[in-house]
């Protein structure tokens, strides 16, 4: 049996590989992958595998993004430290999971279950878009959203919008910076975050979404442009796009 491991924590990946390698001679780890990007590339080019062990939160996003981008017919077992709400979302989609910190016994039990179900296993179409929305807390407009979930190592942290100074694009990654100075990776797009913020944040340009509570004032800069001055230190200057200056000034007066 060929197994693929998806895990960005190197020590955790090594522990899991070591446990699996000692379970049986007919079991081997064919690949250990550490990111969404590398995993998508691997599964698009690699031969079929028998079983996948995967963390949920990777450094560049949720592993669910892998499985909605590359067709994988093998069963997937998630190794996670998520809370009960997130586990319920996973369970409701027919996916198995193992809680971290995992043990040799839990891995053996999971593989034994795979063998028991192997003869009857039929690939199931899973709505990964729905699952991502369930985990991140988006896509539920019937409830007022006052915070979002961010992921730090194996933890899920709720961060209130009133704690966040701004969201910004850093390369291909969306990040937030808190008033406290802490920074986290976010899995939602800026468009989604702008909608969730209910007008309390403004999209000054394509790269930045800023909280009104973080804005001290704005300097006039070149024809029809403004630089936003924040109440916190930030590495870049926030320049309001020309086509957004009127809306920006109106937004300042409404808050």
Residues 189 and 129 in one domain: no
**Residue pLDDT, tens place only, 190-245:** 888 888 888 899 999 989 999 999 999 988 877 678 899 999 999 899 999 887 88
Residues 160 and 112 in one domain: no
Residues 130 and 146 in one domain: no
Residues 98 and 171 in one domain: no
Listed in order, strand segments (DSSP E) in the chain are 2-6, 28-33, 51-54, 57-58, 61-62, 76-80, 96-99, 147-152, 155-160, 164-170, 173-178, 183-186, 201-203, 208-211, 215-220, 226-230, 238-240
Nearest 10 degrees: Cα torsion 147, 94, 152, 146: 0
Q: How far apart are CA 27 and CA 1, in angstroms?
A: 5
Residues 56-83 have a mean pLDDT of 77
Residues 166 and 83 in one domain: no
Residues 58 and 152 in one domain: no
Residues 120 and 7 in one domain: yes
Residues 183 and 151 in one domain: yes
Residues 93 and 146 in one domain: no
Half-sphere exposure of 115 (CA within 13 A, CB side): 10
Is 245 in contact with 239 (CB distance < 8 Å)?
no
Residues 126 and 146 in one domain: no
Residues 147 and 108 in one domain: no
The total number of structural domains in the chain stands at 2
Residues 10 and 118 in one domain: yes
Q: What's 213's domain CATH number?
A: 2.40.50.1020
Sequence-distant (≥ 6) Cβ neighbours of residue 15 within 8 angstroms: none
**Residue pLDDT, tens place only, 155-167:** 788 899 999 999 9
Q: pTM of the predicted model, to two decimals?
A: 0.48
Residue 140 has pLDDT above 50, yes or no: no
Structural domain for 32, as ranges: 2-134
Q: What's 111's domain CATH number?
A: 3.40.50.2300
């Amino acid at each position: 049996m060929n197994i693929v491991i998806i895990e960005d924590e190197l020590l955790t990946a090594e522990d899991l590989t070591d446990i699996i390698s000692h379970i049986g001679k007919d079991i081997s780890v064919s690949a250990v992958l550490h990111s969404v990007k590398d995993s998508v590339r691997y599964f698009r080019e690699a031969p079929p595998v028998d079983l996948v062990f995967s963390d949920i939160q990777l450094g560049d996003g949720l592993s669910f993004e892998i499985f909605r981008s590359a067709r994988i017919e093998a069963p997937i077992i998630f190794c996670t430290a998520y809370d009960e709400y997130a586990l319920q979302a996973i369970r409701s989609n027919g996916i198995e999971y193992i809680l971290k910190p995992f043990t040799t016994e839990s891995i053996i039990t999971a593989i034994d279950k795979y063998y028991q179900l192997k003869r009857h296993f039929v690939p199931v179409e899973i709505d990964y878009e729905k699952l991502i929305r369930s985990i991140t807390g988006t896509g539920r407009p019937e409830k007022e959203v006052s915070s979002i979930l961010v992921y730090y190592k194996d933890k899920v942290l709720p961060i209130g919008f009133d704690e966040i100074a701004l969201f910004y694009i850093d390369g291909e990654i969306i990040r937030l910076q808190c008033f406290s100075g802490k920074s986290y990776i976010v899995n939602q797009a800026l468009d989604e975050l702008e909608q969730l913020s209910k007008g309390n944040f403004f999209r000054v340009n394509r790269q930045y979404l800023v909280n009104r509570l973080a804005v001290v004032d704005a300097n006039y800069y070149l024809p029809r442009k403004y630089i936003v001055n924040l109440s916190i230190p930030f590495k870049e200057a926030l320049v309001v796009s020309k086509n957004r200056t009127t809306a920006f000034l109106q937004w300042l007066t409404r808050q």
